[in-house]
Amino acid sequence: MKKEAVKKYKAFAGIDLPDRSWPAKSITKAPSWCSVDLRDGNQALVQPMNLEQKLDLFQLLTDVGFKDIEIGFPSAAEVEYEFCRTLIEKNLIPDDVSIQVLTPARENLIQKTFEAVKGAKNVVMHLYNSTSTLQRRAVFKMSREEITALGVKGAAVIRDEAAKQPETNFRFEYSPESFTGTELDFALNICEAVMDVWQPTAENPVIINLPATVEMATPNVYADQIEWFCKNMKDRDLAIISLHAHNDRGCAVAATELALMAGGERVEGTLFGNGERTGNVDVVTLALNMFTQGVDPELDLHDITRLIKVSEQVTDIPIHVRHPYAGELVYTAFSGTHQDAIHKGMEMYQQNTDGGWEVPYLPIDPTDVGRSYESIIRINSQSGKGGVAYIMDREFGLKMPKAMHPEFGKIVQVLTDKAGRELQRTEIWEAFENAYLRKTNPYGLATFNVVKRHFEKDEKGSTAEVEVVVKTNGKKKTITGNGNGPLDAFCAALKRDVTGDFTLTSYHEHSLSESSSSKAVAYIQIEMNDGTVGWGVGIDTDIIIASIKAVLSALNRVV
């Protein structure tokens, strides 16, 4: 951009609030939620939703747990009107859910809106008119008094029309549209004037919705505006302060969080932030942010995959791979250092007795939102030994000794560098098999028998004699040996008759499942006289045979 272009803009004026208290507060309970996916979300689409898509989305929103759902603008278009009637006439609205309908402060449109909701059990009638300084000057060319008169007249029409439908439980909501661009004293005055018409009570409070229709400043300014409003309004206990933030500056979630600390009690937003321009506040992100702080968001987000599927189907907008909590890659680490930390953190978590979630780089347990651990660590050229070890453990049950991680990590690194892409789990397993399980040259096992075992009661311990047929470069050779156990006896025979001297420097074993018939895996590291070291792996239903295979596997890697 041209440097001189910045001169067209000026900073948003701060709020004079020296006694602000919100910075010392925190969110300790969920707000009441209102989904506006079917209104703000729908009107922002290139191709608005059809009736079937709207019904699918409405069902999802009720399943998630929204009690207020803004279904549209019934007076604006026939398709909106018909959707409202379909919900009512087909009895698709749960008894504990209120449909919310939007109307401007125009008498004929208000009356049309009341026609649309006739017969509904619970309705939030949402009145709005624009109050911002800029729109009064540039769009409406009206004074404060004229704008206030519009709002008051609309409120009176709503009051009178609601009285004609006593079978419906009406709640009233008022929005000074573009609140953040409105002088605070004027926003307060017009809201109080509307409240005077509606005469709310503690049992039936009015909803005062204070929207950041356009995000104009940093999140702390929105919080200051909300706190100023709450501190200065009369009859504060007769109003529910609702927040409706847009995302023009990319800060809608932060602005809403701070505004909740400042006195907000209700949030209007969309599931993944779909809305006009850069969107509305993202309710899924906002709710799961609370969840990570130990606050129950009171929305059921356990199956985030379903939310994504329905949202993408009705909006034709894909969820970005880096979208908080929902993106395909947000629980995935490619970096070696991250993978190692996650691997260790997961091991620690599995040993915790209090169940508290503390895993580096993962602010939330993926399983809490219906994701598996499968994609936490994925392997490419940026990955490290810890990530590879995690995959082998999580996917294949192989808990490789820590000292073995560098060796197999290097094997996988060669493959990723060559492939130039992410490796699939099957490719990693194939690399493991090729390196440790399939090599039979120069040494292989034909038969193995324990000829004799003897258990001494004194300090000499037990002894064993074995007879083994090994393959050396494809030729069979029978060897025998004695030792303090079958493995020691086998190694003694190998050293004497086949390989020459070597040292078994490390030994680990475990079963591959908890079943009594499960296979066992043995990991053995050997060191040759020239200092060469290498790991071998053996898998068998018999742990002794698994150990024998592991020795031969290691030898095949170092000779």
pLDDT tens digit sequence for 472-488: 988 999 999 999 889 99
Instruction: Judge contact between 125 and 158, C-beta under 8 A.
Output: yes
Domain 443-558 has what CATH class?
Answer: alpha beta
Inter-residue contact 500 to 508 (CB < 8 Å): no
3-class secondary-structure state, position 67: coil
Residue type, 323: H
Instruction: Say whether pLDDT at 172 is over 90.
Output: yes
User: Is the separation of the CB atoms in 437 and 537 below 8 Å?
Assistant: yes
**Across the beta sheet with 462-472, what order do the strands follow?**
443-455, 462-472, 475-483
pLDDT band at residue 370 under the 50/70/90 scheme: very high
Residue 509 CB neighbours (<10 A): 15
Instruction: Return d(Cα 97, Cα 34) in angstroms, integer.
Output: 10
* CATH 3.20.20.70 domain residues, the chain: 16-314
| Tens-digit pLDDT profile for residues 196-249 | 999 999 999 999 999 999 999 999 999 999 999 999 999 999 999 999 999 999
Residue with tokens 């049950």: 397
pLDDT at 265: 98
Average pLDDT of the residues of the chain = 92
CATH 3.30.160.270 in the chain, residues?
443-558
Q: Compute the average pLDDT of residues 154-179.
A: 97
Q: So what's the pLDDT on residue 142?
A: 87
Give the C-alpha separation, 128 to 241, whole Å.
15
- Looking at residue 140, its pLDDT comes to 83
Q: Is 319 helix (H, G, I), strand (E, B) or coil?
A: coil
pLDDT score, position 516: 58
Instruction: Tell me which residue of 186, 185, 162, 187 sits closest to 175, measured CA to CA.
Output: 187
Residue 62 has pLDDT above 60, yes or no: yes
Q: Work out the average pLDDT over 342-371.
A: 88
Task: Assess whether pLDDT exceeds 70 at residue 354.
Answer: yes
Q: Cβ contacts of residue 467 below 8 Å, gap of 6+?
A: 449, 451, 478, 479, 480
CB 174 within 8 A of CB 209: yes
Report the pLDDT averaged over residues 367-396. 75
State CA 18 to chain mean position distance: 37
d(CA 507, CA 537): 10
CA distance 473 to 418: 30
Question: Does the pLDDT of residue 373 top 90, yes or no?
Answer: no
- Give 16-314's CATH code, choosing from 1.10.150.120, 3.30.470.20, 3.20.20.70, 1.10.3720.10: 3.20.20.70
Sign of torsion over alpha carbons 382, 385, 388, 394: negative
pTM recorded for the entire structure: 0.77
